[in-house]
Amino acid sequence: MVKPTRFLFFGLLMVALSGSGCQQQSYPSDKLEDSLREICRKEYGIQDVKVQIAGDTIGVYLPLQKLFASDFKETAITGKVRNLETLFEPSPEALEKVEDVLFSISRVLLSTDKEFKFYMLEATDVEKTGMQLALTGFVDDIKRVRVWDISRNEYRKRVIHELRHNRAVLWHRPVNRFFKDLGALGLDEVRKKYFGEKISDTVLEELLFAPLAEGEPVKTHAWKWDIRDIRSAQVHRREVLVYTKVLAEAPGVTPHELEYLFLVSLSEEHARIVRIIPFQFRNAEGKLERISFPPELQIHQNLDEWEREFSVEEVHLGDFLAQQLTRRVEAMVESDERIQNTFRERKVSFEYHDGAKPYFSMSLNTALRDFNNYSRTSLVFHEDMLYLLNLASKEFVDVVRSYQFGDYTYLTLRLSQEPDEWVLGRDDLELFRQGKMDLQGILSLPRLH
């Protein structure tokens, strides 16, 4: 995974130093989402921030017109790429906005009456690539770095950063633009821009404005369209269905909440609207009535499974630690000269397993360069493998203890080349952390099953 190092150094450091010294509860939890959006809008001019709360996790979505300094398409054509880090370097404008939002998040989290445990920020290029920088952090780590309980470098290691592709952003883009233009342009301009001569103004007006009529002619230019929900599902390699719920408002008229289904084509360079299917119509009595779809098109029954541009799930500490450990050990492995020289393949990953007896697992998909000195009993006792395992296990016990996380009973170890699983008990791992027992000794205990 490419790590945008400049972004992390400045952006995450800004969070570490942010927040006033005052700990007053300035932002009540029942108004937290509005407060955060208001700070971003008033103090930084960032208009389109979205905020969601799931349990003790707060998530913020930051749409950007341009995320990276490089133009992906131009770079691919010219081949002018020095290295991948420069390709994924955020633009100065994007970096400034990300820092401003991170500052706002920490400011609110440190001055609210609700105890949040995690924050998330998704900075997404909504204009061209759909690429997304996703950051997840533990709120207590912000507090600890501010009082020097952990170092700035350690703080940066604790924030999980990922580079993702948000394809729903690209699928939804023509629909988002359509409703934005519908409130700003004339109906004829909208028709020409999106449909050309394929449909008439009359047909488009019937699809969109007829449901708004209440006995009086509708002035199409007077309505504003606010998207309240948008999500999508791919039905073909080159076709996507986009469900949209919008609130149509006009001065002096009752607002209407309407639903539409858009068929979007992916066959061209940019997604394009092919068809609009309304969910409602005015019947002969002038009443708004829902269209009766056949059973195979009852999409409202499975909308929860459709993709959204932004959704927040509650983060749990065990999963967060496993993800953090995977990235920490990955960085250690890539920078360790001995491991580089002795392993042809080297992938270490952690997972957290909840349940009656929760535990962590460490999986190794590795291949040693030396095929002649394997232990007869198990590859786990090869000196180079033990070296790697010692590094990974030391990182595990130190990180888990630093977070005072005790909700696990053991750590399992599995090598991709072997069928059996090793079990390292929590008490034995504590002895290992204290230097009272070495890892080879723990692995020699009768714990194989």
- What pLDDT, on the 0 to 100 scale, is given for residue 18? 47
pLDDT in tens, the chain (449 residues): 444 444 444 444 444 344 444 456 688 888 899 999 999 999 999 988 999 999 999 999 999 998 887 665 555 445 555 554 555 677 889 989 999 999 999 999 989 999 999 999 999 999 888 999 999 999 999 999 888 899 988 999 999 999 999 999 999 999 999 999 998 888 899 999 999 888 888 888 888 888 887 766 667 778 899 999 999 999 888 999 999 999 999 888 889 999 999 999 997 667 899 999 998 888 777 788 888 777 666 666 788 889 999 999 999 999 999 999 999 999 999 999 999 999 999 999 999 999 999 999 999 998 888 765 555 668 888 899 999 999 999 999 999 999 999 999 999 999 988 888 999 999 999 999 999 999 999 998 865 44
Query: Is the CB of residue 429 less than 8 Å from the CB of residue 411?
Result: yes
Rg (the chain; Cα; Å): 27
- Strand 359-368 to strand 410-415: parallel, antiparallel, or no bridges (unpaired)? parallel
Whole-structure pTM value: 0.85
Residue 14 has a pLDDT of 46
Amino acid 283: pLDDT: 79
- What are the residues whose beta carbons fall under 8 Å from the beta carbon of 333, sequence distance 6 or more? 339, 346, 348, 388, 391
- pLDDT score for 216: 65
Whether residue 172 contacts residue 230, with contact meaning beta carbons closer than 8 Å, is answered with: yes
Distances (CA, A) of 223 to 85, 199, 411: 45, 21, 60
Q: Please say whether the beta carbons of 352 and 358 come within 8 A.
A: yes
Q: What is the pLDDT of residue 90?
A: 79
Q: Which stretches of 18-109 are DSSP H helices? A: 32-44, 72-78, 84-87, 92-109
Residue 24 pLDDT: 60
* Selection from 10, 359, 407, 321 nearest residue 138 by Cα: 321
* pLDDT score for 17: 45
pLDDT of residue 132: 93
The predicted structure's pLDDT at residue 217:
65
Q: What is the pLDDT of residues 59-110, one digit of tens each?
A: 999 999 988 876 655 554 455 555 545 556 778 899 899 999 999 999 999 8
- Which one-letter amino acid corresponds to residue 431? L
Q: Which two tokens stand for residue 268?
A: 């061209």
Residue among 264, 296, 262, 295 nearest 279 (CA): 262
The residues facing 262 across adjacent strands are 242, 276
Q: What is the pLDDT of residue 74?
A: 53
Closest CA relative to residue 49, chosen from 111, 99, 121 = 121
pLDDT of residue 178: 95
| 201 within 8 A of 244, measured Cβ to Cβ | no
- Say how far apart CA 96 and CA 118 lie, in whole Å: 22
pLDDT for 300 equals 66
Q: DSSP 3-state assignment of 151?
A: coil
